[in-house]
Structure formats: structure tokens, C-alpha cells
Amino acid sequence: MTFLQFSVYLFEKGGSVSSLPAVSFQQISQILELTDQLEISREVVEIPLSPESPGVIHRLANGKIEIVVDADMPFDEWLQAVPQKIQMLMPDDSLSE
């Protein structure tokens, strides 16, 4: 994603600058480790680089799961709640390939 695409994405989402400037590679890796444990294909997961307040985990119109890190909550605390929130989105069929 280019800076311009990122800026447009933020504008469309109504995003704002937060206390957490960007989601780090390490944080993305931790999120993907969780989705791997849930046997969710990485192809159906989108993690924006910009955190938002509040963070959100929801299904996009294209069927993918968007995981937006919460800007105000400590990352490790937020991460503990991610599996339950993802499982609430899961249909009876699996998202794994």
C-alpha cells in the first residue's frame, strides 16, 4: 500500500492520528499467529497499518476479515480479545483454504 493509498484509506474510514502511530511488523505477526491458530487463511485477513479508536474486527463486503488494532488500548490486552471476536464472525463453514 502506498502512502497515498494509505491516506485515502484513512480518509474513507474516518480515521485519525492516534497515540499508536502505526501497527508494527511484530504486531502484525502476532495477529497472524492468532489467525493461524484459528486455521484462518492469511488470504482472508486484512490488517490496516493505522490503528483506530476504537479498534474493530469485522467482515468486509468481499468476505475477508478486517482486523483494525485499537489505538488506545494496550496492544497485548487488545490481542487477548481478538480470538473470541474473530470466532464470533465465523460462519459454520471454515475460512481456511
pLDDT band for position 70 (50/70/90)?
Answer: very high
- The answer to whether the pTM exceeds 0.85 is no
Q: Which of 21, 33, 27, 9 is nearest to 86 (CA)?
A: 33
Summary mean pLDDT of the chain: 82
* Of 25-29, 51-55, 66-70, 93-97, the least confident: 93-97
The secondary structure element, H or E, covering residue 65 is strand 65-68
3-class DSSP state of 35: helix
Distances (CA, A) of 84 to 30, 35, 44, 80, 94: 15, 11, 17, 8, 15
